[in-house]
Amino acid sequence: MKRPGQQNPRKALKLDPRDNAIVALFPLQAGETVSCDGHDYTLAENVPPKHKFAAIDFEPGSDIIMYGVLVGKASQKISRGQLLSTKNIRHEASPYQRRDQSPDWIAPDVSRWKSQTFLGYRRPDGQIGTRNYWIVLPLVFCENRNLAVLKRALEEELGFARPQSYQQFVRDLAGLYRSGQLDGVAATPFVETARGSQPSRLFPNVDGIKFLTHEGGCGGTREDSNNLCGLLAGYINHPTSPEPLSSASAASTRKSRFCRSSCDCEIRICKSRCSFSNSRRVFPSPR
C-alpha cells in the first residue's frame, strides 16, 4: 500500500544501460505497462518479482545481456515484455579475458601520527611486532605427539605453564592414600593454585610459546603441501614470532622444498630434527 505523499514505487530495474533484460521488482501482471529507464513496457505474461523480462524482441540465437555482459542466448523467438526463463533461453558467457589495470590510489596524509609511538619490537627485516612468541610447529601431523612432549617440558621448565590445580589435588589425595590416611582423603578440600605460585619465567621478554599442531603433511597432494607450507610460512614470518622452531620426521623432508619457496627462512632438515636457519635453537625429536 502506498503511503500518503509517497511517489509510485519503481516496479522494474535495468542494471546496466547495455542490458536487454529487465528485472521485475514487484509481481507484474500480463497486460500491465511499466516504465523503466525512460521506456514503457507492456508485459506479455505474468512476471514474478526478481525475474526478468525481455526489453526487445529476440530471435533464436540472440544475445541476452545483463550487467552489461553476455549471460545467455535465446533458444526460441521471444517477444518484448515476455518472461525470460530456462524455457526460452540457454546459458552462454563471453570468453575469459585478462585485463591489467593499475589502481589509482593516493596515499593518505599520516603526518599527524608521525610522532606517535607504541610498545613494540623492531625486527631485523623491518617488521614491527607487538608480542614476542616462540612458535613451535610440525611439518607433518605425525609429529604432533612429539610436540605434546615438548610443550609440557618447555612450558613447565621455562615458567609458561598454567597452574596445575587438579594435578596437585590428585597428588595430595594419592599421598594421603599411600600413607593410610583414608579419612583425610574425603576431608581434603580442593584449593585452586594461584598463578603467582608458578615458577617465574626464565625469559621475561618472551610472552609465551605457541605449539601449532595440524592434521596435514602426509598422504596429500602437491597442492596440499603447498597450501600447508604457505600457511605455516605465514606464522613463521609474522613479526610476533622471532624464534620459529620446527619438529620433523624423515617423512617431512620433501615438505622442506615447498617451505623454501613459501618463506624467507632456509630450512635444514635431517632424519630426526630440523630447524630454521634464523633460529638459534634446535630441538631433537623426543623419540
Q: What is the pLDDT of residues 229-265, one digit of tens each?
A: 888 888 888 888 765 555 554 444 444 444 444 443 3
Q: What is the pLDDT of residues 18-73, one digit of tens each?
A: 999 999 999 999 999 999 989 999 999 999 999 999 999 999 999 999 999 999 99
pLDDT band at 80 (very low <50, low <70, confident <90, very high): very high
Q: What is the pLDDT of residues 165-205, one digit of tens each?
A: 777 788 888 888 888 888 887 788 877 765 445 567 888 88
Q: What is the pLDDT of residues 219-231, one digit of tens each?
A: 778 888 888 888 8
On the question of pLDDT at 81 being above 50, the answer is yes
pLDDT at 245: 57
pLDDT at 279: 32
Mean pLDDT, rounded, for 81-103: 89
On the question of pLDDT at 266 being above 60, the answer is no
CA nearest neighbour of 246 among 230, 227, 262, 259: 259
Q: Is there a contact between 233 and 135 (Cβ–Cβ < 8 Å)?
A: no
CA nearest neighbour of 283 among 150, 140, 89: 150
Q: What is the pLDDT of residues 144-164, one digit of tens each?
A: 888 888 888 888 888 888 777
